[in-house]
Amino acid sequence: MTKTAATRAKLVAVDGVEAPALLAAAKAALAASTPREPAARGGISRWDASGIFQDLEVAEEEAGAASARTLLLLYAADLAFRLRWQIRPALAEGRTVVAAPYVDTAIAFGRAAGLPLNWLANLFRFAPRAGARVVVPAGAAPATAAKDGFVGFASGHLNGGNDPRARQRLITQTAAILARTPPAPRRRRSPRARS
C-alpha cells in the first residue's frame, strides 16, 4: 500500500433508525468524502452482509423470539464479517468506505433495550473507530421507516416484538439516544501477552 493510498483511506459511520434515510445519507457521505476522487470510493457496507438476519427471518416459529443480547451478538458477528470482507479490504486499498449502520446504532438499540453501556462497549471494542460520523435524525414516525433497517428488524424480533406500541417505543428511544449521544466509548484492547 502506498503512502498516498493510506492517507486517502477513511471509514465513515452513518447511524440512524430509518433505513431509506440511512442509505441516502450513506450515499451522500460517500460522494462527499471523495468529491474529486471517485476511484477512491470503496462503497457502502450495509448491515446483514453476512445473511445472519436473513436466516433469522426465515427461521421456524419454534425458534422463538430472541433477546436483545442475542440480537446484538448476531449484529456483532455480522459486523465482524463486514469488517473482514468489505471494510478492511477497502481501507487497505486506500478507499473510503461507509458503514451504514455502524456501532453507535447497535449501542443505542442496546441501551434502549436496557442493556448496560459497559457490556455494549465491550462487545464492540473490536471495531475500529470511524474517521467521520453522521447521525441521521429520525422523522415524525420512525417506526414506519425503520422496518427495513437493523433497529426495526431487531425491535420486531425481540421478545415481545409483536406488540406494536412496545416496538414503536423501542425504535423511538433508540433514535432519541442516537440523537443525543456522542460516539460510544469503546475500551482499547490491551496488548496480548507475548509468550
Q: Model-level pTM? A: 0.86
Q: What angle do CA 25, 8, 42 make, to 5 degrees?
A: 50
User: What's the pLDDT tens digit per position in 68-121?
Assistant: 999 999 999 999 999 999 999 999 999 999 999 999 999 999 999 999 999 999
How far from 60 is each of 48, 51, 150, CA to CA, in Å? 19, 16, 20
Instruction: Kindly report, residue by residue over 157-181, the tens digit of the pLDDT.
Output: 887 667 888 888 999 999 999 999 7
The single residue listed with the C-alpha cell 423511538 is 172
Q: Tell me what the pLDDT averaged over the chain comes to.
A: 85
Model pLDDT, residue 8? 73
Residues in the chain: 195
Give domain limits for the chain.
Answer: 3-180
Lowest mean pLDDT among 93-97, 150-154, 187-191: 187-191
Pick the CATH number of 3-180 from 3.30.70.1150, 3.40.50.10490, 3.90.1150.10, 3.40.50.300: 3.40.50.300
User: DSSP class of residue 113?
Assistant: T
